[in-house]
């Protein structure tokens, strides 16, 4: 349909045209077939001239009304390149290329794959991209808004005037696009949309934008995503080779970037400052990975990043995307993996974000029974819509491919799996079979894991899933969700409940320590002591420990020792590695000053050496997810509140772990063993260097007969108070 009449051009100026502005503006054949004409909308201009590619003046345009200018070229036959020379009311002059003389950038295959929900590099097409198009440098913009009647790119380059860069609709795809010549990196922009009835919506940030303004500003910025030169080739090569993470040590240091370390003025560190300090510290402490709380752009500091508005943009709070890549690069060069929290479960209602994007419930469900999380005051993605699932799945691959992220910890998986999550009767809609399972979300999670592991890059996925949903970390071809690992929320809840009990009462709660072994190998578990356990009035991990100061710290050391000896990968939130004394506050620094005190320094030293011991002993990780890597010796010594068990590797090597959860040392404590020989103590959480009582087993320990615990031989050892001790046979 060709909109070439003056009437339709006037409608265009008034913002009411529902059609393709490219059929009105730009260069066109004259209605009578004799010559060409050029039409432009320049509402800011006093006068407009047309120049050819050699800057030769072709004529002054006639202002046919308002901001519409036209130049008739009756002798012209072939289309050609041209520019405008624009004179403003103050008589200043500038030249600009006409965006309406350029062909579309997106190809038909891009539109098709996006509509099918299978364009895994859609972030290279939608959004803003620095390109050379038809020999001209500029920026291509594309946005999905199928129910809008008009979409424009606005920014300081056009005085935020939505009439000047109206976008081209691409048929039934719902995508609008335009190439604007002359724009450059770091130009700020947003999208101006009219809804289907022609009403102006709040300006929208780019869903696919690579950079956002620092909050409270909300604009998107043009950025060259391909501009960074990586130096982590060795890490990436090794990552792709070593893909069986179930058999590797994984000890994760969970970090909130804004509060890990601040200066005396309470200013957070930048990505570049953290790149100088964080890799060194994590390496020194022996963690194998860091896990960042969400880094995708978010407007509200108090959400900790879990209410994201810019899924393709690392937050600008701490620097540029290049700065964030440098931080990752430095961590990789220090042989430290990088996991990031990824949040596909919900998004905030901020007017500039995804909510009601084109005047309709586009990214979310329209029905609040499916489209809103009342607990969080957020919207829920419409996972069944192809373009929305494509937006999320391509985003997961984006972080792995473009930012070399080694793993995605998927937040709030339980809220995605269940339609009745945190809802009363009548507040949710059953699925097509009448059940409570969210079939569309399940399909998305399975596809996510198939894509991530299909990359064969060595990247992993981890589910934060708090229910008994089966086979979360089993392959999709077996009916599982396909995650690599699952947080063991039950272990965290039960063991913290046990540790807060006074030791005199612990004999009545031994099952809270041992229950996890009933299901320890049903999933590939991560044992988390996460940020969620040190906020909202829960205090700190140290704060849960009973007794006087000595006992509290001894309890904490014993608990960490038990965590590292228990099957499962490890995760510890920042500050807990030295026994933080106050609840985590996102708006202030960790209590680094506590390290001047021996009790806190001792805990930090313990965690450092636990990491080293764990990584150096395959018995503690190579069969982490297999029942054959664990064997009970005695889990029923409730009167003494003691546990003894064996950890094993594939080669028959083993460690004997003994835990004493009372402040009473156990002398001549008997432990059954299978092998006759000489044993030695190889780890003890009660040593003086950890600020313990230094009760220990010195020298060789010979097996004796008769045996014990239904074993042919026995060891007679001392179990220090509130401690975990590890023994190994000498070979």
Buried b (16+ CB within 10 A) or exposed e, 486-525: bbbbbbbebbbebbebebeebbebbebbbebbeebbbbbb
Q: What's the CA gap between 425 and 639, in Å, rounded?
A: 46
What pLDDT shows up at residue 321? 97
What pLDDT shows up at residue 2? 39
The listed CATH number (3.40.190.10, 3.90.320.10, 3.40.50.720, 2.60.40.1180) that belongs to domain 619-729: 2.60.40.1180
What pLDDT shows up at residue 31? 86
pTM metric for this prediction: 0.94
Give residue limits of the domains in the chain.
Answer: 6-97, 108-221, 619-729
Instruction: Kindly tell me the number of DSSP H helices and DSSP E strands found in the chain.
Output: 13, 36
What pLDDT shows up at residue 467? 92
Domain 6-97 in CATH 2.60.40.10? The answer is yes
Rounded to a whole number of angstroms, the CA Rg of the chain reads: 31
Same fold, 108-221 and 619-729: yes
578-581 contacts at long range (C-beta below 8 A, 24 or more positions apart): 578/603, 578/604, 578/607, 579/540, 579/541, 579/542, 579/553, 579/603, 580/534, 580/540, 580/541, 580/542, 581/540, 581/542, 581/543
Question: Do 172 and 140 touch, CB atoms closer than 8 A?
Answer: no
What pLDDT shows up at residue 33? 83
CATH number of 108-221: 2.60.40.10
pLDDT digits (tens, 9 = 90+) for 657-678: 999 999 999 999 999 999 999 9
Could you tell me where the DSSP H helices lie in 251-374?
A: 271-285, 321-333, 368-371
What pLDDT shows up at residue 521? 96
Give the catalytic positions in this structure: 411, 464
**Mean pLDDT of successive 10-residue segments in the chain (731 residues)?**
49 59 91 89 92 90 88 90 94 94 95 96 97 96 96 95 93 96 96 94 98 96 95 96 93 97 94 97 98 96 94 97 98 98 96 96 94 91 97 98 97 94 92 94 97 95 95 96 96 96 96 94 96 93 96 98 98 97 95 97 98 97 95 96 96 96 96 96 98 96 94 96 97 83
What separation in angstroms does the CA of 662 have from each of 190, 290, 493, 506, 722?
62, 33, 20, 8, 5
Question: Do 654 and 648 touch, CB atoms closer than 8 A?
Answer: yes
List Cβ neighbours of 278 (8 Å cut-off, separation of 6 or more). 255, 260, 290, 327, 331
What pLDDT shows up at residue 75? 87
């Amino acid at each position: 349909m060709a909109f070439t009449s003056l009437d339709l051009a006037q409608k265009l100026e008034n913002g009411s045209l529902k059609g393709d502005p490219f059929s009105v503006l730009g260069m066109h054949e004259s209605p009578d077939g004799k010559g060409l004409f050029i039409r432009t909308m320049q509402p800011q201009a006093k006068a407009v001239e047309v120049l050819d590619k050699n800057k030769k003046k072709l004529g002054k345009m006639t202002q046919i009304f308002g901001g519409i200018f036209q130049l008739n070229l009756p002798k012209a036959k072939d289309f050609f390149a041209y520019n405008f020379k624009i004179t403003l009311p103050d008589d200043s002059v500038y030249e600009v290329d006409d965006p309406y003389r350029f062909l579309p950038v997106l190809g038909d295959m891009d539109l098709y794959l996006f509509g099918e929900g299978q364009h895994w590099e859609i972030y290279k097409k939608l959004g803003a991209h620095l390109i050379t198009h038809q020999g001209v440098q500029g920026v291509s913009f594309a946005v999905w808004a199928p129910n809008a009647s008009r979409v424009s790119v606005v920014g300081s380059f056009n005085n935020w005037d939505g009439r000047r860069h109206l976008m081209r609709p691409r048929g039934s795809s719902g995508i609008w696009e335009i190439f604007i010549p002359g724009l450059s990196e770091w130009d700020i922009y947003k999208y101006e949309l009219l809804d289907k009835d022609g009403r102006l919506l709040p300006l929208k940030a780019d869903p696919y934008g690579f950079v956002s303004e620092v909050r409270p500003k909300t604009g998107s910025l043009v950025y060259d995503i391909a501009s960074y030169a990586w130096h982590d080739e060795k890490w990436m090569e090794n990552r792709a080779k070593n893909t069986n993470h179930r058999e590797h040590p994984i000890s994760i240091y969970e970090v909130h970037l804004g509060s890990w370390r601040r200066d005396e003025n309470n200013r957070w560190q930048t990505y570049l400052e953290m790149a100088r300090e964080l890799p060194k510290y994590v390496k020194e402490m022996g963690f194998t990975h860091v896990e960042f709380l969400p880094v995708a752009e978010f407007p509200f500091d108090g959400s900790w990043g879990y209410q994201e508005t810019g899924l393709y943009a690392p937050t600008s709070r701490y620097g540029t995307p290049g700065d964030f890549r440098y931080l990752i690069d430095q961590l990789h060069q220090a042989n430290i993996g990088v996991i990031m929290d990824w949040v596909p479960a919900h998004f905030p209602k901020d007017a500039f974000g995804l909510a009601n994007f084109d005047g309709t419930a586009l990214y979310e469900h329209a029905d609040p029974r499916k489209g809103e999380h009342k607990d969080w005051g957020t919207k829920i993605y419409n996972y069944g819509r192809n373009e929305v699932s494509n937006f999320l799945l391509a985003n997961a691959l984006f972080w792995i491919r473009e930012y070399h992220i080694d793993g995605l910890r998927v937040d709030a998986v339980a809220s995605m799996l269940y339609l009745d999550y945190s809802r009363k009767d009548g507040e949710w809609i059953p699925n097509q079979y009448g059940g409570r399972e969210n079939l569309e979300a399940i399909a998305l999670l399975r596809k996510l894991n198939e894509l991530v592991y299909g990359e064969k890059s060595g990247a992993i996925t981890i589910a934060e899933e708090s229910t008994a949903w089966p086979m979360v970390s089993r392959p999709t071809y077996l009916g599982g969700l396909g995650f690599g690992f699952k947080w063991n929320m039950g272990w965290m809840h039960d063991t913290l409940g046990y540790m807060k009990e006074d030791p005199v009462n612990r004999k009545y709660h031994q099952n809270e320590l041992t229950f996890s072994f009933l299901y320890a190998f049903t999933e590939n578990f991560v044992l988390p002591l996460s940020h969620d356990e040190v906020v909202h009035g829960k205090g700190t991990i140290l704060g849960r420990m009973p007794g006087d100061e000595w006992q509290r710290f001894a309890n904490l050391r014993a608990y960490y020792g038990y965590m590292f000896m228990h099957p499962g990968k490890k995760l510890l939130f920042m500050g807990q590695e030295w026994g933080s004394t106050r609840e985590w506050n996102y708006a202030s620094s960790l209590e680094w000053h506590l390290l001047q005190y021996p009790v806190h320094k001792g805990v930090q030293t313990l965690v450092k050496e636990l990491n080293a011991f764990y990584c150096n002993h395959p018995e503690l990780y190579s069969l982490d997810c297999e029942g054959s890597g664990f064997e009970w010796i005695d889990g029923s010594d409730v009167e003494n509140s003691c546990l003894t068990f064996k950890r094993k590797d594939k080669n028959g090597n083993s460690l004997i772990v003994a835990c004493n959860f009372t402040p009473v040392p156990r002398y001549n404590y008997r432990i059954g063993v299978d092998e006759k020989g000489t044993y030695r103590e190889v780890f003890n959480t009660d040593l003086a260097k950890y600020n313990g009582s230094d009760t220990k087993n010195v020298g060789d320990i010979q097996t004796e007969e008769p045996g014990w615990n239904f074993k042919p031989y026995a060891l007679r050892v001392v179990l220090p108070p509130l401690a975990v001790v590890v023994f190994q046979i000498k070979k």
